[in-house]
Amino acid sequence: MTASHQNIAAGQDLCRATIIRRITARIVDAPTTRKHKLSNTSVSHQSYVFVSVELENGVTGFGEGSTLGGPRWAEESVEAMKANIEVYLAPALIGQSACLTEAVSLYMDRAAKRNYTAKSAIDMALLDALGKTLNVPAHVLLGGAVRNAFDAIWALASGDAVQEVEEALEMIRRGWFQRFKIKLGFADPQTDLSRLAALQTALPAGTTLVADVNQAWSEAECTRYLPVLRDLGVSLIEQPIAAGQTAASARIAARSDVPVMMDESVSTLAEAAREITAATGSVLSLKLCKHGGAHNLKRVAGIAAAQGVQLYGGCLLESSIGAAGHLHTFATLPRLEWGTEQFGPKILIEDLVTEGLRYEDFQVHLPDGPGLGVSPNPEVIDKYARKD
């Protein structure tokens, strides 16, 4: 047998070995160390869909989909994700080869429209299983890492300025975070701005501050208050107006002296093309749960980079499982100008893995090892898993 025939045979063996045998989904409600407020909800625990994918070779991969306060951040809830995985997505994938990642993505798209978080959880578990099968980190399957550490951003979202100052200073003292995103929009603008001013005064000079308005302001409020954010030293303003208001968003971005970041307005490739062409922001927040998986995230990032839009690694309070999936994907992007806010593991009372991600020197580090490089902790997952 020639070398080329041997390679073909090896590829066929891999496809057979990685046939998807079983997909399971569980809901996990993990308590957080404090309340996390957004403009339209407040959570004291983070809910995940924990996905397991078992291959014909006996290897099991794990993934995670997260949401905030049910279908308030986006249309998916953990209950809907679990049901759609079990009833529609899993049956479409059983018997297919996990190594044919593009085909698997097409099968999921045929089985269910949108449902991006559910799809991204399965995609993450497949990357984990394939990496374990081939004994390589997940990033190798996505093109290989160009960085193994990321500048880390912590979100301040309790609404209590005194508590938030103490929290931020503790993060600096521990060497975990020195860049902070302040959640706005759950109070009136004047109250929010007073809270932000207190933080700006108390934190060390030069601290990077990102203001996330969470779609809470109108165009008129943006005209009035974005200059105040500039004067308070904010470096970046995230999604100040509701997604879908493209023309208004473009006017806001054009008037702002501070870069505006698109988040909820961009999930699909078509949305990326539309919003970037309309110039509704000069920075884009990337999340696996928005884009439906690692490959689509990279495609959205490519559309943005092609038009000079800078990239920011977003999060949705993932545990170390979901955070690792994001880091392996972010590691392969040629540019990631704003680092990442993958702080979720540090806000959980108990992480869902045996050994969490490493936060040192104000960076979060790419995990080593095959697949995602993290191992779920079955005791913790069973402890917080929702009982059927």
How many domains does the chain fold into? 2
Residue 43 banded pLDDT, cuts 50, 70, 90: confident
Structural domain includes residue 386: no
Residue 41 has pLDDT above 70, yes or no: no
- My answer on whether 127 and 146 are in the same domain is no
Give per-residue burial for 278-301: e unless 16+ CB within 10 Å, then b.
ebbbbbbbbbbbbbbbbbbbbbbb
Last residue of some domain: 75, 108, 135?
135
Residue 244 banded pLDDT, cuts 50, 70, 90: very high
In the prediction, which pLDDT does 364 show?
98
Q: Any idea what the CATH number is for the domain that residue 244 is in?
A: 3.20.20.120
Query: So which residues are the catalytic ones?
Result: 183, 341
CA angle in degrees (0–180, nearest 5) for 218-222-228: 145
Q: Which domain holds residue 216?
A: 141-376
Residue 7 has pLDDT above 70, yes or no: no
Residue 6 has pLDDT above 60, yes or no: no
**Residue range 246-260: mean pLDDT, rounded:** 98
In the prediction, which pLDDT does 8 show?
55
- My answer on whether 125 and 153 are in the same domain is no
- My answer on whether 291 and 341 are in the same domain is yes
CA angle in degrees (0–180, nearest 5) for 366-368-372: 80
**Residue range 35-48: mean pLDDT, rounded:** 74
Q: Are strands 149-151 and 60-67 parallel, antiparallel or unpaired?
A: unpaired
Angle between helices 269-277 and 246-255 (to 10 degrees): 50
The pair of three-digit structure tokens given for residue 264, joined into one six-digit string: 């909820």
The pair of three-digit structure tokens given for residue 39, joined into one six-digit string: 């403009």
Structural domain includes residue 12: yes
In the prediction, which pLDDT does 37 show?
65
**Residue range 277-285: mean pLDDT, rounded:** 98
**Residue range 324-352: mean pLDDT, rounded:** 97
In the prediction, which pLDDT does 224 show?
97
Last residue of some domain: 120, 135, 150?
135
What are the φ and ψ backbone dihedral angles of 333, each rounded to 5 degrees?
-75, 130
123 by Cβ neighbours in 10 Å (0-12 / 13-18 / 19+) ranks as buried
In the DSSP assignment, the letter for residue 70 is T
Structural domain includes residue 284: yes
What are the φ and ψ backbone dihedral angles of 319, each rounded to 5 degrees?
-75, -175
- My answer on whether 68 and 168 are in the same domain is no
- My answer on whether 152 and 131 are in the same domain is no
DSSP E strand boundaries for the chain? 20-37, 42-55, 60-67, 149-151, 153-156, 179-183, 208-212, 236-238, 260-262, 283-286, 310-313, 358-360, 363-365
**Residue range 287-314: mean pLDDT, rounded:** 98
Residue 194 has pLDDT above 90, yes or no: yes
The pair of three-digit structure tokens given for residue 100, joined into one six-digit string: 């044919």
Q: Any idea what the CATH number is for the domain that residue 117 is in?
A: 3.30.390.10
In the prediction, which pLDDT does 39 show?
53
Percent of the chain with pLDDT strictly greater than 70: 94
**Residue range 250-277: mean pLDDT, rounded:** 98
Name the residue among 80, 69, 153, 154 with its Cα closest to residue 117.
Answer: 80
Residue 9 has pLDDT above 80, yes or no: no
- My answer on whether 87 and 222 are in the same domain is no
340 touches 148 (CB < 8 A): no
Q: What is the DSSP string of 96-136?
A: SBTT-HHHHHHHHHHH-SS-HHHHHHHHHHHHHHHHHHHTS
Last residue of some domain: 67, 101, 135?
135
Residue 2 has pLDDT above 80, yes or no: no
Q: Could you tell me the sign of the dihedral formed by the alpha carbons of 108, 113, 118, 123, in that order?
A: positive
260 pairs with which residues across the strands? Answer: 237
